Amino acid sequence: MAQKKAHEVDSFLKRLDRAYPIVLLYGPDKGLVSERAGLFIRLTGLAQDDPFAVIRLDADEIQAEPGRLSDEANTISMFGGERLIWVRNAAGQKGLVDAVAYLAKSPPASTYILIEAGDLKKGAGLRGTVEQSASAMALPCYSDDARGIDATIDDMLARNRLQITLDARNLLKESLGGDRLATRAELDKICLYALGRERITINDVRDIIGDVSATSYETIIDAVMIGNMTDFTHAFDRVIGTGSSSFLILSAAIRQFQSLQTLRYGMEGEGKNAASAVATARPPIFFGRKKLVETALQRWTTQSCSQAIERLQRTVLESRRNAALAIPVIRQSLIALAAEAARASRNNR
């Protein structure tokens, strides 16, 4: 099986492995998929802005014309040397799956094929084709856990020759992790804010990211997960009224739904009930939230959690593109999720 586990991907991308000319980057963290795509291209030594060496295609183009991928992959470079075909927005396009399967059997000698995709179901479609090939590699991209956030913080600090106090790091970690590009954007702002000094302090983090307690965010997301519209409206308005960054609400929501999804995996894969899944959760769930999480687990499935995470990540991008409308955009997205939980509650009766 040509695939890596999530924690193995960074090690794999430290050097170019020519045994795998076809690389699939997939997962719910679109920012991380994009970042790792850029890293892979740098490993090849090719310039992203060279139109003769790096050919960009959309997956829908290949769906419409499946033979195009093979034609491009087997075209000899006008100036010699290696080439890269960069396919983006891949999903379940059958034409793309067939084209990749054909090339995987006999990959071109001087061409890399890099594919960016969203979250793909295990063993099926594009992901299954790549995982079963000896010449292709599937690399999952999931939102940062605590270790991944620490590594990203350390990388950005090293680039900017900065240090950070422990309390500042801890506050920063609570506010990051939903999307890799969004995480780097926040870190860029903090490093710029601290320019000319040796160390980032907790006050710097508060000035740039805000200082609303994690409990406030949990109240919002808890209401969303169980479909309590009244509690959601009250908690959301209270947090926004403090002037806090609305992005932090999305970041907290993504983390909570990822945790919920992990618990649902245990229920669906191991036959656990909600109470058992909560009781054996690691890290343990705070006693006061156990009943609420059990209720949420009865209203969300693994698939619906995945769809919720994708919706939240799209909301991150949309709120950043339309900064003036960020608060109503985020509010509407969370209301839609709360409504979905409420419908699930009614259907389960």
**Structural domain ending residue among the three candidates 162, 193, 208:** 208
We report the CATH number of the domain holding residue 151 as 1.10.8.60
| Residue 59 shares a structural domain with residue 135 | yes
Q: How many domains does the chain have?
A: 3
Count each helix (H run) and each strand (E run) in the chain, helices first. Answer: 17, 7
Chain position carrying tokens 């900064």: 323
The percentage of residues in the chain with a pLDDT greater than 90, rounded to a whole number, is: 49
Average pLDDT rounded to a whole number, residues 63-68: 90
Output the six-digit token pair for 187: 């870190």
pLDDT at 1 (0 to 100): 56
- With respect to residue 283, please indicate whether it lies within any of the assigned structural domains: yes
| Residue 232 shares a structural domain with residue 177 | no
Is pTM beyond 0.85? Reply is no
- With respect to residue 1, please indicate whether it lies within any of the assigned structural domains: no
Could you list the residue range(s) of the whole structural domain that residue 153 is in?
A: 146-208
pLDDT at 226 (0 to 100): 95
- With respect to residue 270, please indicate whether it lies within any of the assigned structural domains: yes
Cα–Cα distance for residue pair 71/245, rounded to 1 Å? 48
pLDDT per residue over 133-142, tens digit each? 999 999 998 8
Confidence of residue 255 (pLDDT cuts 50, 70, 90): confident
| Residue 24 shares a structural domain with residue 131 | yes
- With respect to residue 100, please indicate whether it lies within any of the assigned structural domains: yes
The percentage of residues in the chain with a pLDDT greater than 70, rounded to a whole number, is: 94
We report the CATH number of the domain holding residue 298 as 1.20.272.10
- Backbone φ and ψ for 232, nearest 5 degrees, come out as -60, -50
| Residue 220 shares a structural domain with residue 329 | yes
- With respect to residue 107, please indicate whether it lies within any of the assigned structural domains: yes
Residue 96 predicted with pLDDT over 90: yes
pLDDT at 94 (0 to 100): 92
**Structural domain ending residue among the three candidates 92, 107, 140:** 140
pLDDT per residue over 134-184, tens digit each? 999 999 988 766 677 888 899 899 999 999 999 888 888 877 765 677 778
| Residue 99 shares a structural domain with residue 21 | yes
- The 10 Å CB-count burial string (b at 16+, else e) for 124-156 is ebbbbbbbebebbbbbbbbbbeeebbeebbeeb
Question: Of 9, 29, 10, whose CA–CA distance to 257 is shortest?
Answer: 29
Residue 24 predicted with pLDDT over 70: yes
**Structural domain ending residue among the three candidates 208, 228, 260:** 208
Residue 288 predicted with pLDDT over 80: no
| Residue 340 shares a structural domain with residue 220 | yes
Average pLDDT rounded to a whole number, residues 291-309: 94
We report the CATH number of the domain holding residue 106 as 3.40.50.300
- Backbone φ and ψ for 187, nearest 5 degrees, come out as -65, -35
Confidence of residue 222 (pLDDT cuts 50, 70, 90): very high
User: What are the strands of the beta sheet with 83-90, ordered from one edge?
Assistant: 54-58, 83-90, 111-117, 22-26, 136-140
Residue 269 predicted with pLDDT over 70: yes
DSSP state of 213: -
Residue of 43 and 320 predicted with greater confidence: 43
| Residue 333 shares a structural domain with residue 277 | yes
Other residues' Cβ atoms within 10 Å of the Cβ of residue 323: 10
- With respect to residue 315, please indicate whether it lies within any of the assigned structural domains: yes
Residue of 87 and 186 predicted with greater confidence: 87
Residue of 116 and 270 predicted with greater confidence: 116
Residue of 2 and 191 predicted with greater confidence: 191
Residue 213 predicted with pLDDT over 80: no
Residue of 141 and 248 predicted with greater confidence: 141
- With respect to residue 340, please indicate whether it lies within any of the assigned structural domains: yes
| Residue 104 shares a structural domain with residue 184 | no
- With respect to residue 64, please indicate whether it lies within any of the assigned structural domains: yes
